[in-house]
Structure 1
Amino acid sequence: MKKLILSAAIVLGSLTVNAAILPAVSISQSVLIQSEFTEVSADAVPAAVKSTLEKSFPNTKLEKAYKNEKNEYKLEISSGEKKYTIFTDASGNIIKK
């Protein structure tokens, strides 16, 4: 009987030790979805977009302009030392992103 209890204790003890030795593996995966914008010159920005900038954001300067395949524009504007990023469509409608 002693041998049976001793054997059971050894088997249970070895299982516990092996369970503690196994490393915890954590796998995480993230996906970044971003519309690809390519830089365009300020002259390539449609007049409707420029008009919206002048009306909605007076006293600002267009620093950089980007365009994606959906004809959406990403505009980097500045007012003094503050910089802003605005998204519009080709008609000049402001898009929230």
Structure 2
Amino acid sequence: YANIMMMNTLTCVLFLNPGGLLPPDMFTMSLMLKTTTFTMLFLWTRASYPRFRYDQLMHLLWKNFLPLTLALFLWHTTLPMTLSGLPPQ
């Protein structure tokens, strides 16, 4: 659970600006409140859905995510080269 709390604290600091418009002495309270909210949301989501079996997870990765990742990689590498031959408008 310490890893979950640490990652949620980093998420709050990096993306949610715990200082904001509050006075500086409220920084700690705001950070704790946002971290606790994220942690409860994370644990609630984690407890609500069943875990994947290892073979199901490997099937999902090899059959779905890997081809999708390779297709997107090819798309993003070939699109700039394809469009570079077009004249500007």
- TM (norm. structure 2) is 0.24
Structure number with higher helix proportion: 2
Structure whose alpha-carbon radius of gyration is higher: 1
